[in-house]
Amino acid sequence: MIRTMMTACLFDLDGVIVDTARFHYKAWRRLASRLGFDFTEDDNERLKGVSRMRSLDILLDVGGMSERFTDSEKQELADLKNGWYLEYVAAMTSADVLPGAVGLLTDLRRHGIATALASSSRNAGVILQRTGIATLFDAVVDGNDITRAKPDPQVFLLAASRLDAEPGGCVVFEDAGAGIEAASAAGMRSVGIGAADRLPGADVVLPGLAGVDYGCLKGLFV
Ligand code: B16
Ligand code: MG
């Protein structure tokens, strides 16, 4: 793997830029309760970063219902969850952008570092619109642009190519184990956002973006 100077930063959305991970959890737990079982926050960790239909499969597995539904019934369940999720998203405003995100994106731009959103979510567009941060990204790649969700590296490789950046010069910001795996598979370095014990493969783990700027990243990723 060839590692060069940091030229681009790729940001996951849910759990890094906005706290929509809690909305996903709320909606999945509501579906589990409708189906008659409990879905814990620990169970929910397995859903972070993975696609909507894969998330449903994991949830049904937790409830011991893996074999119960046909594909079209599963689509209905996923649609039901997504409807609830979008209800929560509809109430979002710019105040829901996580601390430090706007400051970091602005500072990176100021120092000539390209920025991209790289999310598995098919709802990224509406979230960017609700929070008013779309213009802070030079490129946006989301769940509608890819055929393989994280841990596959497709979302990050596509984001890098849209920025015309070499993978070795990209730094990925991710809150999900599947996303850190995807970054490594893409030949990129990564900053895990959250608890270090949940993100063992990340090059660096930080609790959030607050206080992070170009200067400190430059020190970490020469
Ligand atoms: P949707 P990210 C991911 O977004 C979420 O982490 C994951 O929990 C979700 O299942 C996936 O998007 C698909 O989301 O149902 O909105 O299309 O973390 O990659 O920004
Ligand atoms: Mg995420």
pLDDT tens for residues 192-216? 999 999 899 999 999 999 999 999 9
Q: What are the pocket residues of ligand 1 if the criterion is a CB atom closer than 6 Å to any ligand atom? A: 12-15, 24, 47-52, 55, 82, 119-123, 143, 176
CATH number of the domain at 21-89, please?
Answer: 1.10.150.240
Q: Rounded to an integer, what distance in angstroms lies between the CA atom of residue 180 and that of residue 109?
A: 23
- Checking if the pLDDT of 95 tops 70, the result is yes
Helices (H) and strands (E) in the chain, counts: 9, 6
Every domain range in the chain assigned CATH 3.40.50.1000: 8-18+96-221
Every domain range in the chain assigned CATH 1.10.150.240: 21-89
Verify whether residue 57 is a known catalytic residue: no
pLDDT digits (tens, 9 = 90+) for 99-116: 999 999 999 999 999 999
Nearest-atom index, ligand 1, CA of 54? 10
With a CB cutoff of 8 Å and minimum separation 6, the contacts of 84 are: 26, 27, 30, 31
Nearest-atom index, ligand 1, CA of 82? 15
Which ligand has its closest atom nearest to the C-alpha of 150? 1
pLDDT band at 221 (very low <50, low <70, confident <90, very high): confident
* Distance of CA 202 from the midpoint of ligand 2 (Å): 14
Closest CA to 209 of 5, 9, 8, 4: 9
Verify whether residue 145 is a known catalytic residue: no
With a CB cutoff of 8 Å and minimum separation 6, the contacts of 86 are: 123, 126
Q: Rounded to an integer, what distance in angstroms lies between the CA atom of residue 38 and that of residue 61?
A: 12
pLDDT band at 188 (very low <50, low <70, confident <90, very high): very high
- Checking if the pLDDT of 172 tops 70, the result is yes
CATH topology assigned to domain 8-18+96-221: Rossmann fold (3.40.50)
pLDDT digits (tens, 9 = 90+) for 27-41: 999 999 999 999 999
pLDDT confidence of residue 3: 64
pLDDT digits (tens, 9 = 90+) for 47-64: 988 899 999 999 999 999
User: Which residues have their alpha-adjacent CB atom under 5 A from ion ligand 2?
Assistant: 12, 14-15, 175-176
pLDDT confidence of residue 4: 75
